[in-house]
Amino acid sequence: MSLGLLALASLAAPAATLVEFDFDDQNSAASVEAAALLDAGDFTSNNVTDLGYYHRAGADFERLLSAWGDDPGEPADSNEYVEFASTVTGESVTLERFSFSLQHSAAGRTSSDQIQVAWDLNGGGFQTIGMGGLDVRGEDEPLFTYNFLLGMAPALGDLQTADVVTFRIYGDLRDDTTAYRFDNVRLFGHGVPLPVPEPSALAMLGAALGFAFRRRR
C-alpha cells in the first residue's frame, strides 16, 4: 500500500465533509457542507464519455462514465480525467481525506483497469497521490469507496484564503464497451472561517461615519 494511503490524518480537529458531489438526486452540483471554508466549482470531465445517470432497483442513482483512458498498455492517461476545483473562502483550511466510489459495470474484478488521483494547488502542477494505480472492482462486489489520506501532501494542510486546489482522477480503464459506476465524491478536512466583525464594532464604525458626515455638513 502506498505512503499516501498510509499517511496519518491531522488530529488537530475532527474532519468534516467540506465538499460533496452526490449524484443520488440526479444533480451534479456540489453540496458544500462547510461553505464558510471552501467554495467548490463544477464537477467536470475531459475526454471521458458521460452516459448520464444510472439507477438499479433498490439502489441510489449513480453516474455512468465510459471510454475513460481506453488505450491498452498505457498508464493513467493525462488527457482523460474527471476533476473539480475548490477555492478557500475561510482564513485557513487543512484537507485530510479525498474519497469517491467507483465500480466496473461488468461482473468480475477487472485487475487491468486502474485509476490514479492527483492534486494541484494554484496552477503549480499536478502531483499524484500514492505511488501507483489502484485496481477497479467489478459489478458483483459492493460499490467500492476509495479513500486517499492527504497527510503526505503538506501544502494541503496549510491552505489560505483564495487558494485554489483541484483534484483530478485519471483513468486507465481499458474497455470502452462498458461503463463505470461513479458516485459519492467527497473532500474532508477542517479549518478556520474568516472572522466576522462583532456587532459592537459595526456600531462604532457606523457612529464614526455618521459623525464624519455631520462634520462635513
Domain count, the chain: 1
Q: Please report which residue ranges of the chain form alpha helices under DSSP H.
A: 3-6, 199-216
| Whether residue 142 has pLDDT greater than 70 | no
What DSSP character marks residue 78? Answer: T
* Closest C-alpha among 3, 1, 7, 54 to residue 157: 7
Residue 15: what pLDDT?
A: 80
In 36-70, which positions are buried (b, 16+ CB within 10 angstroms) versus exposed (e)? Answer: ebbbbeebebeebebeeebeeeeeebbbbbbbbbb
Tens digit of each residue's pLDDT (9 = 90 or more) over 179-206: 777 888 899 999 999 887 666 555 565 5
Tens digit of each residue's pLDDT (9 = 90 or more) over 19-40: 888 776 555 555 555 568 998 8
Residue 64 and residue 102 in contact, taking contact as beta carbons nearer than 8 Å = no
Q: What is the CATH number of the domain that holds 167?
A: 2.60.120.260
Q: Residue 184 corresponds to which cell in the numbers above?
A: 459519492
pTM score, two decimals? 0.77
Q: Whole domain around residue 151: which residue ranges?
A: 3-216
